[in-house]
């Protein structure tokens, strides 16, 4: 939300330092005598006492009189807008300064009247700033103050920051550049200098127009302007429309200055842009309906700076009799309060500069005086309004639910199809607006409108929010209504809008009393909360006195009475009571933030006597990572929890058991994963571009539909080993990784051949690890050739695995028992045997072990060989065997006996012992 | 004889000093102290001496021998030392050849930082908790005081799951924050509570360099009888100082989250400029870090804890953001991109 500092000044005395310096030479003056200017009807000559001397000043203020105190800008003053006061001669009479209106000092709004400000009594010559009794604050300090105590201000910037080096220039002549589609070459007078520039024809410009010209060095929102050749033609500047300047000044988007405007003048000066704009983070205002207007922000600033807030009191008299708007609210659930007022004899036209300037500065477009006034009141008070052309309203207004498929063309020209959950404002024939969201085209204010019905209602926030989401319309109005607005604002808004309309169209007349329809129990008792002072101190964590708490709350317009030694009875003001402040904690927040979060001491809580619960799974996850990464050389990847249909197809996983997303962002993120494998395959696909050796793993969850409300979430470890060589080695590397993991956590398992429910696995080159209870702990496999092909990995060998981490850890056995170190030396010897290729290593190992179970302590496979020197269909397998006895040193005789037995066992499997004589 | 011995001693010492090769030294030793050497030669005259002179000369000769043997030994050591030194100075050795290492794998930066966070909070007495990633609307929203149609739901664009609806728990969503675990933990363990919940969270929002559908958060919750905002400052200051290995300042700002009241944003002093203001902190001197606040009484009630007896705070910060900040990662999508050229850097 954008907030104008100048606008805030309507309600709170605030002065930023950079302005303060401009008031250096403004002093209090006492008008001793005035006489008529001999050569001008509307001017007077005043003799003003400025303390040290009496000076003569020519003044045009219509309310100038003798014996008043005024603010005098002495020669040398530079007032906001870069307006320098000089000693001068006005129609032949010397003038030594200027008697000011507060608006000329940047302290009030310019209401267009030719008045001076009459100030309170003070010693003549006193610097005027001192009489204001307001503390100056730098823009940065104001930003920080609000950010630290109210809501985040993202930026505070001078409103003219983009307008440096943008001046007025008169378009003298132009022509189309031959052979271009739309480029024109023009000459522009920028005040004593003629420059040439190239421009497009987005806006129709005419000779003699005075336009904003950005000169080289100007920093526009779109970038810096430089002298350049465009279409071969030198361009020394740019004609800018409002959007290019970041202003919203003209209704058609291009600001054209009136004839006679001085040339070469900074346009900021001409437009009077001397404001600071604060940009609030909207999210930080979510819970503060009261801050969605300037008055609310001014109230905060007043509280934060101990300054007085001016009351919001439109000066308007509503007639007691006359025509009133007929309004019927069908259901108070939809609308708590509906205020309406008829104004006749209006004249629709352009708004005055000061309204346009303020709306523009706060990011609003301008339309016509009536619509601008409704936007102005919304931006000022926070209450959105609507104006209907009365001529198009049949009989009266009705607030009701929309009918199913009821249609309305909204102000943006789009057809909206409504339903019964939505709320409309209708007349007796048709809907004329979607309540609180957007008006209807059928009753829109137009040039010929002469009579209007102003509406300011308090709508149901939830209904509006749902409607806004359904229709996809997010207006400033709904943004405010959905926060729950104060119903007291309806009446205020109507009065303020009426006041402005009467000011802008002197012909306008209020037709009669304001219609005010309220939900029956609306004026119920205000919200009262008992605040336990001790609780507040305990939660904030510091000792704040009861009187300080009271003081803080009162500054924020809460009414506070003491209710006992340590409790306060607090009445919440209506603008905070809609949702925001409803319990003790809400009051504690008010106290804490105004007391200053910075003032809360930093302390550590005492450690609990009860130790925290352990989370062994977390701990083991980290140990597992160390094993895989630092022990086994795998890299850890993180993948998304989703995949899409094409991934399912490529990895051949069926669609069943998947949890599917209702709304998704892309086609490859539609299903929640039930396996880590597909995304790991994608990782391989990506990484083979850069490396022929990949070893990766991921620890992540899978989400399986199991026919209950909550899906089954399990933690898995998935992994892959890929190499450029054609080899099954990858399988054994993966097997090594899994078995290391089981060993590390001392998990007992049973390995069986093959896999189930793993369509991506090679049917033969795969194993499943089972728990004793039959649950699958892990699968290892060579990737199925079709999968390999689908992922373009034909050149590689790929083994993969998936471990059910959750299930596996359930089986972890704590503690191992130590085996005594051998006291007697063991004997190692090697055996090489040639066997049929299809005999498994496990069979050979068993045959060896069976030879002497008590003496053989280790059998180590160290080579499998097929190829030259070994008969086709056979393989040579070599083992290192260790014999050891617990009670003696083994003799050669014993060793030979075991060896002989091993030989015969292997030979009985059809093996030939190599090197045996 | 005495003169002869002294002469021999003197000349031998000077000769020893001149010798520069081990071989020459050995030869000299034989020549002087050998069985047929010069000293033996002189000692042959011993038998011709008078009995009273014999022992005196004998002792002198022995002293000379001992002295010379020592001189030879010292010279020998010196020469051996020089020889080694010389051999070292001529040896060519290339220290610039790349090291031979067994390539070790890499742990993902998110895991590394997560472990660090868990370790620090464990040391401060916090338990590490876990909760489902596919969560019910109730736990993700209503239980946290975010009713339907609450504007705060805008802040959390949500992934919904198909065909899941429960009268009590509503629809099913991918959790948008780790906060649902607050209520789950309260229900399960009651008060007091001192836990953190690191975990994966999801937002339905278009991805770019700073937004991803999937990211990691750390939730914290401390509930006891007298827990205050001052304690939140204390814990976070301690945590961040330990995490960054230097003294860090923290500050609170008002913030709004429906599940806390008062609600806060916590910033920490910029690590680079230490609060003076620089490009990294956008000249504010502070880094935005997390949302926090005193747990809302409705949330305590959802979790079955009596807000009259217990109070406490909760916080939630972005682990993903912390990782990006720590390593200067400028594109969030790298974290779940699976590109090993990225992961191998950690």
Burial class (CB in 10 A: 0-12, 13-18, 19+), A668: middle
**What is the model's pLDDT at position A15?**
74
B234 touches chain A (CB under 8 A): yes
Whether residues B55 and B179 share a domain: the answer is no
* Cross-chain Cβ contact A622/B159 below 8 Å: no
CB contact at 8 A, A96 and A75: yes
Minimum-distance CB partner of A593 among B133, B207, B262: B262
Asked whether the domain spanning A166-273 has the same topology as the one spanning A25-126, the reply is yes
Whether residues B140 and B276 share a domain: the answer is yes
**What is the model's pLDDT at position A251?**
65
Q: What percent of chain A has pLDDT over 70?
A: 97
Residues 6 or more apart in contact with residue A518 via CB below 8 angstroms: A336, A337, A487
**What is the model's pLDDT at position A207?**
86
Tens digits of residue pLDDT in A391-422:
999 989 999 999 999 999 999 999 999 999 99
**What is the model's pLDDT at position A321?**
93
Q: What percent of chain B has pLDDT over 90?
A: 60
What the block records as the tokens of A153 is 């201000």
Residues 261-300 of B with CB under 8 A from A: 261-265, 294, 296-297
Please tell me the distance from the alpha carbon of residue A802 to that of residue A781, in angstroms, as a whole number: 9
Please tell me the distance from the alpha carbon of residue B75 to that of residue A629, in angstroms, as a whole number: 56
Bridge partners for A510 per DSSP: A343
Please determine, for residue A638, whether its predicted confidence score (pLDDT) is greater than 90: yes
Q: List the one residue out of B114, B104, B299 whose CA is nearest residue B191.
A: B299
Minimum-distance CB partner of B234 among A535, A603, A695: A603
**How many domains does chain B divide into?**
2
B111 touches chain A (CB under 8 A): yes
For residue A347, the 8-state DSSP code is -
A582 touches chain B (CB under 8 A): no
Task: Look at B155 and A662; give whichever has higher pLDDT.
Answer: A662
Contacts 24+ apart (CB under 8 A), A324-327: A324/A511, A324/A512, A324/A513, A324/A514, A324/A515, A325/A396, A325/A397, A325/A453, A325/A515, A326/A395, A326/A396, A326/A397, A326/A515, A327/A396, A327/A397, A327/A398, A327/A399, A327/A515, A327/A517
Please determine, for residue A787, whether its predicted confidence score (pLDDT) is greater than 80: yes
pLDDT band, very low/low/confident/very high, at A21 (cuts 50, 70, 90): low
* Cross-chain Cβ contact A540/B230 below 8 Å: yes
Report yes or no on B12 lying in a domain: yes
Burial class (CB in 10 A: 0-12, 13-18, 19+), A544: middle
**What is the model's pLDDT at position B116?**
96
Report yes or no on B99 lying in a domain: no
**What is the model's pLDDT at position A81?**
63
Whether residues B177 and B266 share a domain: the answer is yes
CB contact at 8 A, A796 and A875: no
Report yes or no on B104 lying in a domain: no
Whether residues B58 and B132 share a domain: the answer is no
Angle between helices B53-90 and B2-18 (to 10 degrees): 0
pLDDT band, very low/low/confident/very high, at A247 (cuts 50, 70, 90): confident
Q: Look at residue A68 and give its three-state secondary structure.
A: strand
CB burial readout A235-270, b (16+ within 10 A) else e: bbbbbbbbebbbbbbbeeebbbbeeeeebebbbbbb
**What is the model's pLDDT at position A133?**
63
pLDDT band, very low/low/confident/very high, at A917 (cuts 50, 70, 90): low
Please list every residue in chain A whose beta carbon sits closer than 8 Å to the beta carbon of residue B250. Answer: 602
Q: Look at residue A598 and give its three-state secondary structure.
A: helix
* Topology annotation, domain A166-273: OB fold (Dihydrolipoamide Acetyltransferase, E2P) (2.40.50)
Name the helix (H) or strand (E) containing A809: helix A805-810
* Cross-chain Cβ contact A709/B169 below 8 Å: yes
Please determine, for residue A660, whether its predicted confidence score (pLDDT) is greater than 90: yes
B117 touches chain A (CB under 8 A): no
* Cross-chain Cβ contact A665/B103 below 8 Å: no
Residues 6 or more apart in contact with residue B152 via CB below 8 angstroms: A286, B146, B256, B257, B258
Name the helix (H) or strand (E) containing B88: helix B53-90
Please list every residue in chain B whose beta carbon sits closer than 8 Å to the beta carbon of residue A474. Answer: none
Please determine, for residue A658, whether its predicted confidence score (pLDDT) is greater than 70: yes
CB contact at 8 A, A752 and A776: no
**What is the model's pLDDT at position A325?**
95
Minimum-distance CB partner of A713 among B133, B189, B294: B133
CB contact at 8 A, A721 and A799: yes
* Cross-chain Cβ contact B261/A701 below 8 Å: no
Please determine, for residue A873, whether its predicted confidence score (pLDDT) is greater than 80: yes
For residue B223, the 8-state DSSP code is E
CATH superfamily of A327-516: Phenylalanyl-trna Synthetase, Chain B, domain 3 (3.50.40.10)
**What is the model's pLDDT at position B154?**
63
**What is the model's pLDDT at position A105?**
80
Q: Residue A691 — φ and ψ, nearest 5°?
A: -155, 145
- Domain A616-810 listed as CATH 3.30.930.10: yes
**What is the model's pLDDT at position A409?**
94
pLDDT band, very low/low/confident/very high, at A568 (cuts 50, 70, 90): very high
Please list every residue in chain A whose beta carbon sits closer than 8 Å to the beta carbon of residue B237. Answer: 602
Please tell me the distance from the alpha carbon of residue A890 to that of residue B86, in angstroms, as a whole number: 52
Please list every residue in chain A whose beta carbon sits closer than 8 Å to the beta carbon of residue B290. Answer: none
Tens digits of residue pLDDT in A218-237:
888 778 888 888 888 889 98
Whether residues B73 and B182 share a domain: the answer is no
Residues 412-471 of A with CB under 8 A from B: 461-462, 465-466
CA dihedral B74→B76→B81→B85, nearest 10 degrees, is 140
| Mean pLDDT estimate for chain B | 91
Report yes or no on B103 lying in a domain: no
Tens digits of residue pLDDT in A320-354:
999 999 999 999 999 999 999 999 999 999 998 88
Could you write out the DSSP letters of every residue in A863-889?
A: EEE-STTS-TTEEEEEEEEEE--SSSP
- Strand segments (E) across chain B: 127-128, 134-136, 160-166, 170-174, 193-202, 214-224, 250-254, 260-269, 286-295, 311-318
Please tell me the distance from the alpha carbon of residue B141 to that of residue B259, in angstroms, as a whole number: 9
Distance of CA A649 to the CA centre of its chain: 37
Whether residues B132 and B78 share a domain: the answer is no
B179 vs chain A: nearest CA distance in angstroms? 18
* B137 dihedral zone (left: phi>0; alpha: psi -120 to 50; beta): alpha
CB contact at 8 A, A346 and A340: no
Burial class (CB in 10 A: 0-12, 13-18, 19+), A85: buried
- Name residue, tokens 């260790």: A882
A686 touches chain B (CB under 8 A): yes
**What is the model's pLDDT at position A836?**
94
Task: Look at A852 and B39; give whichever has higher pLDDT.
Answer: A852
Could you write out the DSSP letters of every residue in A684-740?
A: HHHHTTT-SEEEEEEEEEEEE--SSSS-EEEEEEEEEEEESS--SHHHHHHHHHHHH
Q: For residue A173, what are the CA distances in angstroms to A198, A229, A360, A449?
A: 12, 19, 31, 40
A593 vs chain B: nearest CA distance in angstroms? 7
**What is the model's pLDDT at position B3?**
86
Please tell me the distance from the alpha carbon of residue A658 to that of residue A641, in angstroms, as a whole number: 12
Whether residues B235 and B268 share a domain: the answer is yes
CB contact at 8 A, B161 and B134: yes
Whether residues B67 and B196 share a domain: the answer is no
Report yes or no on B240 lying in a domain: yes
**What is the model's pLDDT at position A41?**
86
Please tell me the distance from the alpha carbon of residue A684 to that of residue B85, in angstroms, as a whole number: 54
Average pLDDT, integer, range B70-80: 91
pLDDT band, very low/low/confident/very high, at B34 (cuts 50, 70, 90): confident
Please list every residue in chain A whose beta carbon sits closer than 8 Å to the beta carbon of residue B201. Answer: none
For residue B255, the 8-state DSSP code is -
B2 touches chain A (CB under 8 A): no
Please determine, for residue A439, whether its predicted confidence score (pLDDT) is greater than 90: yes
**What is the model's pLDDT at position B201?**
97
Whether residues B126 and B60 share a domain: the answer is no
What the block records as the tokens of A228 is 């350049």
Whether residues B45 and B119 share a domain: the answer is no
**What is the model's pLDDT at position A157?**
85
Q: List the one residue out of A83, A76, A85, A111 whose CA is nearest residue A6.
A: A111
Second-level CATH architecture of A25-126: Beta Barrel (2.40)
Whether residues B236 and B332 share a domain: the answer is yes
Please tell me the distance from the alpha carbon of residue B336 to that of residue B323, in angstroms, as a whole number: 13
Where in the sequence is the domain holding B202, given as residue range(s)? 110-343
Please list every residue in chain B whose beta carbon sits closer than 8 Å to the beta carbon of residue A146. Answer: none
Q: What residue spans define the domains of chain A?
A: 25-126, 139-158+277-305, 166-273, 327-516, 528-599, 616-810, 827-913
Q: How many residues are present in chain B?
A: 346
Average pLDDT, integer, range B195-206: 94
Q: Which of B57, B90, B123 is the last residue of a domain?
A: B90
> CA B196, B197, B202: angle at the middle one, nearest 5?
145
Minimum-distance CB partner of A638 among B256, B262, B335: B335
Q: Look at residue A433 and give its three-state secondary structure.
A: strand
Report yes or no on B171 lying in a domain: yes
- Domain A528-599 listed as CATH 3.30.420.10: no
Tens digits of residue pLDDT in A365-378:
889 999 999 999 99
CATH superfamily of A827-913: Ferrodoxin-fold anticodon-binding domain (3.30.70.380)
B94 vs chain A: nearest CA distance in angstroms? 28
Please determine, for residue A186, whether its predicted confidence score (pLDDT) is greater than 70: yes
B311 touches chain A (CB under 8 A): yes
CA dihedral A790→A793→A799→A803, nearest 10 degrees, is -50
**What is the model's pLDDT at position A766?**
96
Please tell me the distance from the alpha carbon of residue B214 to that of residue A35, in angstroms, as a whole number: 78
Please list every residue in chain A whose beta carbon sits closer than 8 Å to the beta carbon of residue B262. Answer: 585, 588-589, 592-593
């Amino acid at each position: 939300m954008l907030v104008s500092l100048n606008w805030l000044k309507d309600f709170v005395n605030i002065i930023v330092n950079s302005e303060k310096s401009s008031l250096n030479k403004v002093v209090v003056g006492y008008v001793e005598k005035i006489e008529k200017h001999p050569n001008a009807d509307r001017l007077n000559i005043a003799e003003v006492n400025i303390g040290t001397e009496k000076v003569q000043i020519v003044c045009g203020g219509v309310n100038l009189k003798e014996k008043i105190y005024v603010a005098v800008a002495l020669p040398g003053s530079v007032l906001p807008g870069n307006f320098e006061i000089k000693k001068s001669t006005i129609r032949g009479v010397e003038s030594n300064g200027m008697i000011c209106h507060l608006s000329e000092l940047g302290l009030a709004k310019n209401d267009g009247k030719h008045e001076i400000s009459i100030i309170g009594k003070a010693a003549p010559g006193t610097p005027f700033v001192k009489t204001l009794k307001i503390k100056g604050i730098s823009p940065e300090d104001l930003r920080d103050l609000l950010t630290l105590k109210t809501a985040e201000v993202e930026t505070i910037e001078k409103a003219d920051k983009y307008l440096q080096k943008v001046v007025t220039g008169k378009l003298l002549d132009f022509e189309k550049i031959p052979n271009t589609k739309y480029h024109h070459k023009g000459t522009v007078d920028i005040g004593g200098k003629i420059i040439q520039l190239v421009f497009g024809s987005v806006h129709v410009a005419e000779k003699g127009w005075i336009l904003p010209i950005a000169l080289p060095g100007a920093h526009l929102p779109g970038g810096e302007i430089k002298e350049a050749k465009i279409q071969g033609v030198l361009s020394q500047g740019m004609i800018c429309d409002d959007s290019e300047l970041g202003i919203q000044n003209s209704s058609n988007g291009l600001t054209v200055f009136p004839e006679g405007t001085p040339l070469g003048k900074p346009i900021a000066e001409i437009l009077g842009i001397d404001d600071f704009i604060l940009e609030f983070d909207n999210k930080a205002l979510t819970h503060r309906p009261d801050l969605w207007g300037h008055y609310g922000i001014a109230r905060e600033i007043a509280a934060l700076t101990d300054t007085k807030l001016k009351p919001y009191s439109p000066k308007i008299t509503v007639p007691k009799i006359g025509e009133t708007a007929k309004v019927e609210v069908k259901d108070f659930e939809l609308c708590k309060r509906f205020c309406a007022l008829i104004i006749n004899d209006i004249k629709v036209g352009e708004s005055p500069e000061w309204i346009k300037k303020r709306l523009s500065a706060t990011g609003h477009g301008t339309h016509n005086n009536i619509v601008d006034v409704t936007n102005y009141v919304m931006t000022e008070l926070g209450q959105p309004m609507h104006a209907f052309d009365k001529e198009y309203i049949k009989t009266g207004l009705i607030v009701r639910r929309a009918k199913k498929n009821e249609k309305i063309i909204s102000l943006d020209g789009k057809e909206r199809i409504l339903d019964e959950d939505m709320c409309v404002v209708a007349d007796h024939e048709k809907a004329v607006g979607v309540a609180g969201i957007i008006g209807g085209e059928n009753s829109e204010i137009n040039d010929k409108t002469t009579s209007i019905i102003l509406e300011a209602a308090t709508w149901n926030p939830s209904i509006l929010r749902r409607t806004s989401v359904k229709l996809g319309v997010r207006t400033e109005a709904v943004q405010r209504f959905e926060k729950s607005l104060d119903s007291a604002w309806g009446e205020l808004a109507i009065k303020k809008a009426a006041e402005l309309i009467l000011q802008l169209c002197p012909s306008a007349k209020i037709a009669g009393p304001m219609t005010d329809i309220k939900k029956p129990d609306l004026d119920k008792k205000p919200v009262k909360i008992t605040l336990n002072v001790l609780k507040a101190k305990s939660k904030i964590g510091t000792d704040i006195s009861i009187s300080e708490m009271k003081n803080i709350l009162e500054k924020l317009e809460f009414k506070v009475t003491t209710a006992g030694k340590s409790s306060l009875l607090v009445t919440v003001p209506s603008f905070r009571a809609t949702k925001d402040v409803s319990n003790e904690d809400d009051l504690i927040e008010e106290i804490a933030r105004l007391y200053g979060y910075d003032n809360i001491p930093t302390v550590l809580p005492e450690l609990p006597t009860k130790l925290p619960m352990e989370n062994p799974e977390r701990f083991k996850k980290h140990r597992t990572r160390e094993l895989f990464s630092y022990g086994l050389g795998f890299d850890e990847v993180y993948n998304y929890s989703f995949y899409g249909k094409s991934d399912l197809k490529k990895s051949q996983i069926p669609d069943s058991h998947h949890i599917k997303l209702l709304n998704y962002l892309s086609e490859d993120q539609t299903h929640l994963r039930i396996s880590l494998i597909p995304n790991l395959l994608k990782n391989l696909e990506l990484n083979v571009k850069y490396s022929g050796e990949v070893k990766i793993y991921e620890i992540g969850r899978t989400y399986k539909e199991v026919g209950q409300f909550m899906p089954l979430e399990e933690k898995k470890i998935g992994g892959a080993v890929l190499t450029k060589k054609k080899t099954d080695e990858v399988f054994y590397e993966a097997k090594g990784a899994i078995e290391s993991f089981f060993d590390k956590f001392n998990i007992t398992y049973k390995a069986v051949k093959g896999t189930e429910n793993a369509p991506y696995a090679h049917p033969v080159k795969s194993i499943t690890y089972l728990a004793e209870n039959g649950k699958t702990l892990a699968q290892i496999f060579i990737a199925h050739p079709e999968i390999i092909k689908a992922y373009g990995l034909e050149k590689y060998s790929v083994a993969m695995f998936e471990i059910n981490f959750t299930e596996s850890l359930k089986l972890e056995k704590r503690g191992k028992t130590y085996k005594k170190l051998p006291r007697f030396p063991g004997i190692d010897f090697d055996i090489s045997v040639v066997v049929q290729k299809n005999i498994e290593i496990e069979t050979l190992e068993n045959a060896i072990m069976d030879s002497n179970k008590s003496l053989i302590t280790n059998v180590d496979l160290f080579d499998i060989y097929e190829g030259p020197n070994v008969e086709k269909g056979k393989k040579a397998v070599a083992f290192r065997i260790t014999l050891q006895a617990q009670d003696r040193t083994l003799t050669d005789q014993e060793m030979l006996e075991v060896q002989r037995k091993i030989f015969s066992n292997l030979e009985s499997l059809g093996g030939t012992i190599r090197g045996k004589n | 004889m005495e003169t002869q011995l002294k002469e021999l001693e003197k000349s031998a010492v000077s000769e020893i000093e001149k010798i520069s090769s081990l071989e020459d030294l050995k030869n000299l030793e034989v020549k002087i102290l050998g069985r047929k050497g010069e000293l033996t030669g002189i000692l042959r005259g011993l038998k011709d001496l008078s009995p009273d002179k014999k022992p005196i000369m004998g002792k002198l000769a022995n002293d000379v021998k001992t002295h010379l043997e020592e001189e030879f030994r010292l010279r020998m050591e010196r020469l051996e030392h020089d020889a080694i030194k010389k051999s070292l100075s001529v040896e060519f050795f290339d220290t610039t050849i790349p090291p031979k290492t067994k390539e070790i794998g890499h742990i993902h930066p998110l895991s590394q930082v997560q472990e660090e966070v868990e370790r620090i909070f464990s040391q401060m007495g916090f338990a590490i908790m876990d909760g489902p990633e596919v969560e019910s609307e109730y736990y993700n929203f209503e239980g946290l005081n975010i009713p339907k149609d609450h504007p705060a739901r805008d802040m959390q664009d949500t992934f919904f799951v198909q065909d899941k609806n429960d009268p009590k728990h509503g629809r099913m969503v991918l959790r948008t924050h780790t906060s649902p675990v607050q209520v789950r933990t309260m229900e399960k363990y009651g008060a007091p509570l001192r836990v953190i919940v690191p975990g994966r969270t999801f937002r339905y929002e278009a991805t770019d360099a700073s937004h991803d559908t999937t990211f990691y958060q750390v939730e914290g919750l401390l509930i006891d009888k007298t827990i205050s905002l001052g304690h939140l400052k204390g814990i976070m200051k301690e945590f961040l100082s330990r995490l960054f290995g230097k003294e860090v300042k923290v500050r609170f700002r008002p913030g709004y989250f429906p599940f806390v009241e008062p609600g806060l944003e916590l910033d920490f002093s910029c690590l680079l400029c230490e609060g003076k203001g620089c490009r990294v902190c956008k000249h504010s001197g502070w880094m935005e870090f997390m949302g926090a606040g005193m747990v809302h009484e409705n949330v305590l009630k959802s979790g079955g804890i009596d807000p009259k007896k217990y109070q406490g705070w909760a916080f939630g910060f972005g682990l993903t953001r912390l990782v990006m900040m720590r390593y200067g990662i400028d594109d969030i999508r790298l974290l779940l991109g699976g590109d090993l050229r990225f992961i191998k850097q950690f």
